[in-house]
Amino acid sequence: MADDNPPPYTDEPQAPVEKANGAGSRGPRPPFPLDLPALNMIRGKRVILASASPRRKQLLAQIGLTDLEIIPSTAPEDQSHSLPPFEYVLATATTKAQNVYAATIDSPEGEPALVLAADTVICTHLGQILEKPRNEREHIATLKMLRDGNNGWHKVYTAVVAMAPLESAVDPGYALEHHVEETAVKFDQSVTDELIVSYVKTREGADKAGGYGIQGVGSILVEKIDGTFDNVVGLPLRATLQVIESVVVEPGQMEEVDNVL
């Protein structure tokens, strides 16, 4: 008899399977890549995403960064939850970037042209940072709390950190830039307990801080957002492009970039 129960919370989340178009199939032409100095400078070079998140990989592909090395950080994520969410995500993302940069700077493949790291947290209106749910009961309780507290409003913070080597031997030998994005999200307070339980059983939110994915079925829980949508998904693209520009584009080229944006 088939087991209809969803997988346990201890299972590793499975990355979505990418399907290629069959030979001779026709579809809409994908957009041309962005023609910007920063992106042109790193195309064909070693670009590392210090994250195993398939959502961040997909978002970066939207701005043309498709040839990425995925090397998750091995540094412990042990920042104190007593920190304000802004500081918590920035400290965590910075540690991730520095860990992966240090591990790859002298590797046989050559030093990376760019290392990108990010960290996203969801917090209540009181500033409580929410982790990934550990079990079904906690998952249901978390979503009910987000629905019922502060008229359904809570906040999402993502820190993006970019690192690139400097051509000079100036200590510390790399450029590092960061950005922290804040988005407010409002759950629909008319969402029923039954709908929350049904959503939890899809397990879509089991591997996500706060317990939901706004880019998927979890959108049925959300009434509106104030801020950037991709920040809630896990990576604010405009800000990411800006921190990339800050570490890879020479000062004389920045005016051209600013004019484009």
Kindly report the CA angle at 185 between 184 and 190, in degrees rounded to 5?
145
Note whether residue 104 is domain-resident: yes
Write out the residue range of the structural domain in which residue 235 sits: 37-253
Note whether residue 54 is domain-resident: yes
Q: Exposed (0-12), middle (13-18) or buried (19+): which is 250, by Cβ within 10 Å?
A: exposed
Catalytic site includes residue 3: no
The tens digit of pLDDT for each residue in 218-231 reads: 999 999 999 999 99
> What pLDDT shows up at residue 217?
96
pLDDT band at 249 (very low <50, low <70, confident <90, very high): confident
- Two tokens, residue 158: 């993502």
Main-chain phi, psi angles of 84, to 5 degrees? -60, 145
The tens digit of pLDDT for each residue in 106-161 reads: 888 888 999 999 999 999 988 899 988 999 999 999 999 999 999 999 999 999 99
Q: Is the peptide bond before 172 cis (omega within 30 degrees of 0)?
A: yes
How many domains are contained in the chain?
A: 1
DSSP codes of every residue in 44-85? TS-EEE----HHHHHHHHHTT--S-EE----S-----TTS-H
- Average pLDDT, rounded, for the chain: 87
Note whether residue 19 is domain-resident: no
Note whether residue 224 is domain-resident: yes
Q: Is the pLDDT reported for residue 67 higher than 60?
A: yes
Q: Out of 67, 119, 207, 226, which one is annotated catalytic? A: 119
Note whether residue 82 is domain-resident: yes
Note whether residue 28 is domain-resident: no
The enclosing domain of 55 has a CATH number of: 3.90.950.10
Task: Look at residues 180, 148, 176, 145 and name the one whose alpha carbon lies nearest to residue 163.
Answer: 176
> What pLDDT shows up at residue 108?
87
Mean pLDDT, residues 41-54 taken together: 94
What predicted TM-score, i.e. pTM, was given to this entire model? 0.83
Torsion (CA) 83, 156, 53, 101 in degrees, nearest 10: -40
Note whether residue 63 is domain-resident: yes
Note whether residue 12 is domain-resident: no
Torsion (CA) 72, 181, 233, 254 in degrees, nearest 10: -70
